[in-house]
Amino acid sequence: MGSFFQHDYLYAAGMYSLVVVAIIIYLVIFEFVTKYKTWTEIKNGNVAVALATGGKIFGVANVFRHSITHNDTVMEMLGWGTFGFVLLVFVYFIFEFLTPGFKVDEELENNNRAVGLISFILSVSLSYIIGASIL
């Protein structure tokens, strides 16, 4: 497998493929964490859920960007990427904890775009902090 990744184009395609699969898996996990059905809400035009989901996708991709840059093996890259994902899940729970006046899931399901925007910004901004801490 090491010689397979010695070709730049194959390396890029391999990393791309691994991260896309990881994002899909992580979105499925996020689906279990939230109380609403993400793709049904997006299909129905719920911008708040689309913003929150977009932030999650961007956040995971950003964490993997740093993980690819700082790790020499695929397993290390996947390990750090997964660790970063777990930290991004904590962002969701922190947001819920810091807003005792309302339920984040309910506000997103009700298309509260302000909550969706804050969710997006939290995921993206903290993904930079997570990425910067990857060794």
Give how far the C-alpha of residue 129 lies from the chain's centroid of Cα atoms, to the nearest Å. Answer: 13
Give pLDDT tens digits for 78-94: 999 999 999 999 998 99
Give pLDDT tens digits for 50-72: 999 999 999 999 999 999 999 87
Q: What is the DSSP string of 60-113?
A: HHHHHHHHHHH-SSHHHHHHHHHHHHHHHHHHHHHHHHH-TTS-HHHHHHTT-H
Half-sphere exposure of 16 (CA within 13 A, CB side): 6
Give pLDDT tens digits for 20-59: 999 999 999 999 999 999 999 999 999 999 999 999 999 9
Quote the CA–CA distance of 25 and 34 in Å, as a whole number: 15
> What's the number of domains the chain is made of?
1
- Coil vs helix vs strand at 135: coil
**pTM of the model as a whole:** 0.87
Q: Which of 123, 127, 122, 105 is nearest to 48 (CA)?
A: 105
- Tell me the residue range of the domain where 83 lies: 4-133
